[in-house]
Every structure is written in C-alpha cells, then in structure tokens.
C-alpha cells in the first residue's frame, strides 16, 4: 500500500468516526434532555473552509465541519467542536428557535454533555486558511475615482449600476473597466 493510499484510508476513517460522534451526541441529548425530540438528523458535510471549525444550520438541516481542522485536531474535535455544533441543534429544538446561539439554553446543553462551555476554538488555522485574490473594480463619480471589491461590484451590478452614491457630489458611482 502506498503512503497516499494510507493517508486516504486514514482520512476516510476520521470522517466516518466524526459522523459516528455526531450520532453519539444526538443520542446522548435524547437521553439527558427530556424536552429534546427530533424526527431527523442533519446531513454532516466536511466542506467548510477557512478559520471556522464547524457550523450548524437548522434551516438547511446541515452540520458542516472543517475537514482540515478535523484531521489536525481530531481528539479535541470529538470532545469540543462536534458537541458544540450538536448543542446548537438541540437548543433550537427545545427553544423552538427562540434561544440565543450561545445563550443560557445552549450553555445548559453543553454542561449536560459534560463539555467545556466556550464559543471559540484555538486551533492553528495555518493550513486551513484560504487565500483569496482581491480583484478591484474601478468606479467613477463626478468628483473622484474609487476601487470597489468584488462584493460591492456585484451588488452594484445587480441594481443596474445604481447602488453607491458619492457622499461629496451625490452622483452614482459608475463602473468603468480599466483598459
């Protein structure tokens, strides 16, 4: 077996174990918290990038985990990140969506799980940080020229180019491609 095949098998094992851990924490929540009942379990994906370790989306029925951070910090992920995200689903279910993300109910769930109650992780994110190329777009109004980011440019384009008004001359900034 080649080294790359071993690494792939190991990664697959970690992902399978992470899914098992998600089920474990949901099962534990059903045992410990009588008010918690869910007819479905969220889809677990590993496509989260950047500095975020995990996210829980009730509306999408999805629990997203950062695969790079999972691989690099697996033991801590099992004890902290996975229960953290599951606790968001549990909190949403027992408060019917009225609880705060990291509020009293969420903290209560984390304590029942026997986990550390904190919002943020302290993982080294060097390998998972995504570098982005910032492209700027030139906009001109009556008094000056400005460079907008892709996000501002797209917002302006969606509105027919009339989205940002200059504070000085009160004219709309118009996109002018550089030659």
Kindly indicate the confidence band of residue 123, based on its pLDDT and cuts at 50, 70 and 90. confident
pLDDT of residue 6: 44
- Between 1.10.760, 3.30.2010, 3.90.1570, 3.30.460, what CATH number should domain 3-113 receive? 3.30.2010
Torsion of CA 136, 137, 140, 144, to 10 degrees: 0
User: Taking residues 2-23, what's their average pLDDT?
Assistant: 74
**Active-site amino acid positions:** 85
pLDDT of residue 1: 42
Strand 43-45 vs strand 145-148: parallel, antiparallel, or unpaired?
unpaired
Kindly indicate the confidence band of residue 8, based on its pLDDT and cuts at 50, 70 and 90. low
Domain boundaries along the sequence of the chain? 3-113, 137-175
pTM, rounded to two decimals: 0.69
pLDDT of residue 121: 84
Helix axis angle, 104-113 to 82-95, nearest 10°: 130
pLDDT of 4 above 80? no
Q: What percentage of the chain exceeds 90 in pLDDT?
A: 54
Determine what percent of the chain falls in helix, strand and coil, rounding each to the nearest 5. 45, 15, 45
User: Taking residues 134-157, what's their average pLDDT?
Assistant: 85
Q: Which two tokens stand for residue 71?
A: 């691989």
Please tell me the distance from the alpha carbon of residue 64 to that of residue 61, in angstroms, as a whole number: 10
Please tell me the distance from the alpha carbon of residue 38 to that of residue 28, in angstroms, as a whole number: 13
Please tell me the distance from the alpha carbon of residue 146 to that of residue 150, in angstroms, as a whole number: 13
């Amino acid at each position: 077996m080649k080294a790359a095949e071993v690494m792939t098998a190991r990664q697959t094992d970690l992902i399978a174990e992470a899914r098992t851990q998600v089920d474990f924490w949901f099962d534990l929540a059903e045992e410990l918290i009588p008010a918690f009942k869910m007819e479905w379990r969220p889809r677990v994906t590993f496509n989260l990038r950047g500095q975020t370790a995990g996210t829980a989306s009730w509306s999408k029925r999805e629990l997203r985990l950062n695969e790079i951070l999972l691989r690099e910090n697996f033991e801590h992920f099992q004890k902290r990140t996975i229960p953290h995200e599951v606790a968001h689903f549990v909190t949403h279910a027992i408060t019917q969506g009225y609880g705060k993300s990291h509020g009293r109910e969420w903290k209560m769930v984390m304590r029942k799980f026997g986990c550390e109650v904190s919002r943020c992780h302290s993982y080294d994110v060097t390998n998972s940080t995504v570098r982005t190329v910032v492209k700027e777009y030139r906009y001109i109004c009556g008094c000056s020229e400005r460079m907008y980011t892709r996000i501002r440019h797209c917002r302006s384009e969606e509105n027919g180019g009339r989205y940002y008004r200059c504070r000085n001359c009160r004219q709309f900034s118009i996109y002018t491609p550089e030659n």
